[in-house]
Amino acid sequence: MLSNKLKKYKIILASGSPRRHELLKDLDVDFTVKLKEVDEIYPNDLKSYEITDFLAELKSKVFKESIQENELIITSDTIVWIDGIALGKPKNYQDAFDMLSKLSNNAHEVITSVCIFNKNFKKIINDSVKVSFKKLTREEIDYYISTYKPYDKAGAYGIQEWIGKIGITKIEGSYFTVMGFPVHKLYKELMKL
């Protein structure tokens, strides 16, 4: 349905995430991937979805000068929000271990924002999901980090990977938002174009 609806646009997904590539492809959207370097720094006073909204929009701004009339660009950002702190991508093993230890036997929010824009409009959408983890052992955390190397994932985990299968006890909201794309909301917005 969407490919027909969007045929006048050249869709560009500005994300290196294989999960986002897969999810957008599953929506029957033809797109190309174009990456531009962005320093993902946000003001300290931002909280929760304000952070992901800000970063999704920031990622869009690097395309402002080069965007063509028929192009539609999609950018996105995901964070894990726990105890008033945003967890982004871990820098190293210890950082990943600390993040997963914090998530262990606890509930957190996963927030994803998406910015859809072209020369004439810009729309930012976001979605939030509550995720609960069982108590993870040191061995489970170590095994996961050593085997799956989750350094490209907010909160140091991928819900679709081993840790999600053995560790997540409850999810309230969209599974795909946790993967990095609120596809139900993205579909709705793209259908409006």
Q: Is-contact 138 104, C-beta < 8 A?
A: no
Q: Which residues pair with 72 in a beta bridge?
A: 11
Closest CA to 27 of 3, 58, 54: 3
Active site residues: 77
Q: What was the pLDDT predicted at 5?
A: 86
Cβ partners under 8 Å of residue 52, min gap 6 = 77, 78, 79, 111, 112, 113, 126
Q: What is the pLDDT along the chain (193 residues), one digit of tens a residue?
A: 888 889 999 999 999 999 999 999 999 999 999 999 999 999 999 999 999 999 999 999 999 889 999 999 999 999 999 999 999 999 999 999 999 999 999 999 999 999 999 998 999 999 999 999 999 999 999 999 999 999 999 999 999 999 999 999 999 999 999 999 999 999 999 999 8
Q: What was the pLDDT predicted at 1?
A: 82
The Cα 52–Cα 109 span in angstroms is: 12
Q: What is the DSSP string of 107-164?
A: EEEEEEEEEEE-SS-EEEEEEEEEEEE----HHHHHHHHHHH--TTSGGG--TTSHHH
Q: State both tokens at 124.
A: 């930012």
The Cα 66–Cα 95 span in angstroms is: 36
Closest CA to 94 of 142, 55, 162: 142
Q: Is the pTM of this model over 0.85?
A: yes
Q: State both tokens at 106.
A: 């606890």
Q: What was the pLDDT predicted at 2?
A: 85
Q: What was the pLDDT predicted at 131?
A: 98
Count of C-beta atoms within a 10 Å radius of residue 92: 10
The Cα 59–Cα 113 span in angstroms is: 11
